[in-house]
Structure 1
């Protein structure tokens, strides 16, 4: 058996070497722009050099409606009123850290409830889902009323948790018809809970999803749901996913 394997090896190596002779490098014919340089943060949670800081620990000046929120020791806590970013976003990467109250009060949707609404319409649910039963498409890191998380990666109440989100905004033609739906990928505490999940439209509680707005960009919101959820280290990166300057070499 050993001799046959050696013999086979001796036959194959020259044959493979011979087949490489005369071949040329394959090229796509597309002229790509050079990728820009982005300096990563010191840790996965730290903002990279091109990030837009939405909350860095001192103020909520990047948001509208935040007058009632409390800021203490680098932490912003919901205290009445949903807040909205002053800037609009489409395709983007979002990082945020949140913490539900350490003292557990309520159950189901009444426990540590908030939410990040991408483009004001598509909610990634924020909820204390640690040993807390509720409908599956309404628990932490679900796409609200549309897609339960792949797994429940929640940490105990009072513990800081992270969301890292990749969002692809919906695209519409000149007549307002949907060309491509929105998609979202979510890592909850570093665990994949949504992977390129199609969003069916707005994530309303009281009606089926539909693409009512045809905007290419819109603000993000953090929801007030009568629970004192806390946030820190929120940043966003705008993504250029439709790199339309690709063209074949002449």
Structure 2
């Protein structure tokens, strides 16, 4: 009788099919975990704030510790521009764990856009922006913005003579905007984030579309083997008449 042998072969192949399915799910799951970037959890000033006094700095806090290489802050930047596209940040950034900040010196009453770029704990570069309003009760002490993004240690709105800021950090931040680029208008309470391509350290992760394709191919191969075995078992092999 061939029934026990057929059943044994079928059970073995079914087990292999299930194993392939588990591998596919694990691969997709690992790819999804690797694509999770640190999210902006809070900021000061916050998105949609309406201020009457200059806060003197912008501070951003993320969901996990940011990735730095010693004192190199080349992958980090915070820029603050008004409705005319003038810059009011110092060009220097300070990073402490999951928090990054920069000194600012605001000008006249206006809507201000904060644009930021950081390196997540997973090695990916992520960026975003939000807007707040500044409505001072007096124009005394209003600073003149710069047309171009300032370089850390050089002249900026708060230090026109180029005197270094009290807390400069080594390394100039990577530019994330230019004077010729219009400042985008966003809803006052809206915060948007984007992510760049993964760094070389995370490039070895299999993209989930490739994992799905490999899983489908594997399932097709196993299904073909199942059909072939059943036909041979019922017909007594290739040589059966």
TM-score bin, normalised by smaller chain: under 0.3
Higher helix proportion, which one? 2
TM-score of the two chains, using structure 1 as the length reference: 0.23
Higher strand proportion, which one? 1
Which of structures 1 and 2 has the bigger CA Rg?
2
TM-score of the two chains, using structure 2 as the length reference: 0.24
